Structure 1
Amino acid sequence: MIYVTGDIHGTIDIYKLVDFFSLESQRKSLSKKDYVIICGDAGVVFDLKEDDQKTCDILSSLPVTVLYIDGNHENFDALEDYDIDTWHGGNVHFIRDDIIHLIRGQVFEIEGKTFFTFGGAHSQDQYFRRIHIDWWPQEIPSEEEMEEGMINLRRYGGKVDYIITHTAPYEVLIALGKDIADEEEEFVHYLENISSEVSFKKWYFGHLHLDEEVDDYICLYDKIIEIE
């Protein structure tokens, strides 16, 4: 089984997972061969101190394996120090055996389904943060990362089952009444191009701290849903 949810921000919003899976494991037989995907801002690698350790310990205690994409509140300098491994067809960072960072622009084959993953977004509170301490410029994807994403999508003939991102395509953000910062305009237009050129069933994203649907685009925050 594969579940998906929105941001957890380290220990701040992590207990929605604890509460959900304590009940879900009573109803279903779950194991580390089942998964939950976090749509960015996991906060697994952030302060490199006690909170990261507590976050990882809580996630490892869940009955499922945790997969996550990066959001905008991640320590990208530290993430880049992890070795890159290949897992289920795409590049990943193993934070722990049961906590896996899904790198941008990859396609993964999990339980017979294909997932295109692309983290990153703009921090609206950037100017209240300190560069390379609690804010990192790598939050906005590079041209190379975006090109790699397109190359991998072409390998699958422009068709995947699900797309997992942190922020959303341009038109979806507009439909949700969101302002688009200059810093992220190129990236959300890139996502918009993907939305118009790639065939997919559902697109899941976080970042906006709400639970809302716009056609096949599903924004998640508190909700945890099972992917059918």
Structure 2
Amino acid sequence: MIYITGDTHGRFERVERFCERFGTSREDILIILGDAGINFNGGRHDQMKKEFLESLPITIFAIHGNHEQRPCTIGTYKEKMWRGGTVYYEEEYPDLLFAKDGEVFELDGKKVIVMGGAYSVDKMVRLMYGYGWWPDEQPSEEIKKDVERKLEELGWKVDVVLSHTTPLKYEPVEVFLEGIDQSKVDKSTEAWLDRIEDRLDYGKWYCGHYHTEKKIDRVEIMFENFDMFCGRI
């Protein structure tokens, strides 16, 4: 079975409870829609999280968020093909997989494209207090071109989109953090996703990032809930 959930930010107790409740196995897959919180500081704390997740009876398939390092910048990660697309993994933790942006995967018989990354509205606080922040948190122009080239090859038609943030028109403005001047928030990724969404023929679009649960048309924003991929538990 394939399941899906939103940001975990390094707190995996609910993942453990989920595995226990549904009796999962390594053959089952859990998609995390960014900000898994596994690659944060590169130290023992990250290692402990990876060891814990690797001990659970499930395969993790995470997309890139904004509060974490990109695996391609970490020397211990390697690439391999998995279900039709490229993923990053570490030999010590073979069941923790990170999708490469712009790759298309075959999941449950569906063509699924991945577009991770977002802007951190708490960027200045993170820089001020030395919390983790990475300048490549948003997709680069190269990544965007790769995504668009892949969509051209597919005739601008996929079954499912996995992104961290939403197309601009679907932003859940009702949960925006108070005290943040939205005019100073970089929404270039959301604007780009908006242009993609306008043109793309798709069936379902999943995203995380906003720490809320909401459905708008074919777009579903997820946080702590678990669903079956393209279905219901």
Q: Same fold (TM over 0.5)?
A: yes
Q: 1:73 aligns to what?
A: 67
- 1:223 counterpart = 2:221: no
Once the two structures are superposed, residues 165-219 of structure 1 have per-residue CA deviations (whole angstroms, 9 ceiling, x without a partner) of: 1100000016656585655322111101111111112111111011111111111
- 1:85 counterpart = 2:85: no
- Which moves more between the two structures, 191-200 or 164-173? 191-200
Once the two structures are superposed, residues 30-53 of structure 1 have per-residue CA deviations (whole angstroms, 9 ceiling, x without a partner) of: 432221100000111111122212
In 2, Cα distance between equivalents of 1:54 and 1:105? 29
In 2, Cα distance between equivalents of 1:100 and 1:118? 15
Match of 1:188 among 190, 193, 200: 190
Cα RMSD for the two superposed structures: 2.2
* Number of aligned residues: 222
Shift of 1:83: 2.8
In 2, Cα distance between equivalents of 1:78 and 1:105? 14
Distance 1:176 1:215, change over 3 A: farther
In 2, Cα distance between equivalents of 1:104 and 1:162? 14
**1:42-191 alignment, distance < 5 Å:** 42-76=36-70, 79-81=73-75, 82-95=77-90, 96-130=93-127, 134-173=132-171, 178=176, 182=184, 184-191=186-193
Distance 1:183 1:104, change over 3 A: farther
In 2, Cα distance between equivalents of 1:76 and 1:183? 21
Distance 1:83 1:116, change over 3 A: same
Distance 1:181 1:137, change over 3 A: farther
Q: Secondary structure at the match of 1:213?
A: strand
Distance 1:182 1:191, change over 3 A: farther
- Under a length normalisation based on structure 1, what TM-score does the superposition of the two structures give? 0.89
Contact 2:114 2:163 in 1 (8 A): yes
- Overall identity of the aligned pairs, in %: 33
Q: 1:6 aligns to what?
A: 6
Distance 1:7 1:174, change over 3 A: closer
- Which moves more between the two structures, 176-185 or 114-123? 176-185
Q: 1:38 aligns to what?
A: 32
Which consecutive segments of 4 or more residues in structure 1 shift more than 4 A? 174-183
